[in-house]
A = this chain, B = another copy of it.
Amino acid sequence: MQSDSFLVSLLRDKAMKKISDDITTLADLIKKGDRKALARAITLVENEYVGSDILLKIIQQKDTPVIGFTGPPGAGKSTLINAFLRHILLMKKKAAVIAVDPTSPFNYGSLLADRIRMSEHFNNENIFIRSVATRGSLGGLSEKIIEITDVLRAADFDFIIIETVGVGQSEVEIAGLADTTIVIVVPESGDDIQAMKSGIMEIADIFVVNKSDREGASSLVNNLKKMLMQKHESGWSVPVISTIATSDEGIDELLEKIILHRNSNAFNEKKILLLTEKVYQLARNYRMRGLKREDIKKRLEIAKQEPSFNLYRFVDDFKN
């Protein structure tokens, strides 16, 4: 008996040692810029495979700027990001893009979407593109978006870009995660500006009016500026930038403002809030693990049959 359990524990220790070694190797490779290792690491944390918790605890995260691009469908986010990436490449910099694609919950679909949307940079070794599925039908970022971003911050990127569709919860969630949040609108949405959820005004660090060669662009820019005037805080006044992503116009100004924002007092004050939000969400995700309405319903349907059924005794089973 003794020797048996000794053997088991020896084997377990050995297995753990092996995993730990693998993870250490993986962390080293990520740091050196190995893209295959990075992709593997993301898959690891995305699926909570064995060792993912160790990885997150040993990698050293840099202070890589995380930039969120959000806006309604059709605003030209992907085109704008493509133009932005061209700019970055010209400067001999490296960037990672996380695309949160609400239309394709499956990896294959997401991968395909990547290839179509980002095709221009797909084979460039200085650009790393990864799609992640949304959490639910309401949009909302992937449950692992924080972990994925932190893995990317251990690599050799100069920028990390997160693209989300500005519907549902995603746009609010991105503001809690990105260092700089860029909200993209188009002249067509001009009429909606008044009705625009005040939430959007709150989250934008930078506004981009894309497709600014279209009718109504300048009045949209003016309206936005007027609305934003009331919102000076922390000494950062939210700029409104006109771009035409298809012809690279305004992209240099966008990059300039991003860097300006990052060096601002506003960002410095935001930092602790971003970190707080990350801790809160990581802890919440952990605590809420395994609590699924479908499971509750299934088990309720059986438990309810019993005459002695009591809701509060039933709930006890779901508390941990």
A188 within 8 A of B: no
**A195, A277, A314 interface centre (most CB from chain B within 10 Å):** A314
Contact A57 B310 (CB under 8 A): yes
Chain A residues touching B, majority SS: helix
Binds B, one of A208-216, A228-236, A281-289: A281-289
Contact B311 A275 (CB under 8 A): yes
Contact B310 A279 (CB under 8 A): no
Which A150-195 residues have C-beta < 8 A from chain B?
150, 195
Binds B, one of A92-100, A125-133, A295-303: A295-303
Which A288-319 residues have C-beta < 8 A from chain B?
288, 291, 293, 296-297, 300-301, 304, 310-315, 318-319
Mark each residue of chain A from 40 to 62: 1 if its CB lies under 8 Å from any CB of chain B, else 0: 00000000000001001100010
Contact B311 A61 (CB under 8 A): yes
Contact A319 B272 (CB under 8 A): no
* Min CB–CB distance A74 → chain B (angstroms): 21
* Min CB–CB distance A179 → chain B (angstroms): 15
Contact A300 B276 (CB under 8 A): yes
Report the interface size class on chain A.
35 or more
Q: How many copies does the complex hold?
A: 2
* Min CB–CB distance A39 → chain B (angstroms): 20
* Min CB–CB distance A310 → chain B (angstroms): 6
Q: A272-B297, A284-B288, A286-B319 are in contact. Are A279 and B57 (CB under 8 A)?
A: no
The complex places the Cα of A313 from the Cα of B283 at a distance, in Å, of 11
Q: A283-B291, A291-B284 are in contact. Are A300 and B275 (CB under 8 A)?
A: yes
* Min CB–CB distance A314 → chain B (angstroms): 7
The complex places the Cα of A272 from the Cα of B301 at a distance, in Å, of 7
Contacts of A318 in B (CB 8 A): 279-280, 283
Q: A57-B312, A315-B282 are in contact. Are A275 and B293 (CB under 8 A)?
A: no
* Min CB–CB distance A302 → chain B (angstroms): 11
Contacts of A300 in B (CB 8 A): 272, 275-276, 279
The complex places the Cα of A293 from the Cα of B320 at a distance, in Å, of 21
* Min CB–CB distance A301 → chain B (angstroms): 6
Q: A310-B57, A311-B61, A312-B57 are in contact. Are A296 and B279 (CB under 8 A)?
A: yes
Interface residues, chain A, with chain B CB atoms under 8 Å away? 53, 56-57, 61, 150, 195, 272-273, 275-280, 282-284, 286-288, 291, 293, 296-297, 300-301, 304, 310-315, 318-320
Task: Give the 6 A-B CB pairs with smallest separation, nearest first.
Answer: A283-B318, A56-B312, A287-B287, A276-B297, A282-B315, A57-B312
Besides the known contacts A57-B312, A150-B312, 15 further A-B residue pairs in the complex with CB atoms under 8 A apart? A61-B311, A150-B311, A273-B297, A275-B311, A276-B293, A276-B300, A277-B293, A279-B296, A279-B314, A280-B318, A283-B291, A284-B291, A287-B291, A287-B320, A288-B288
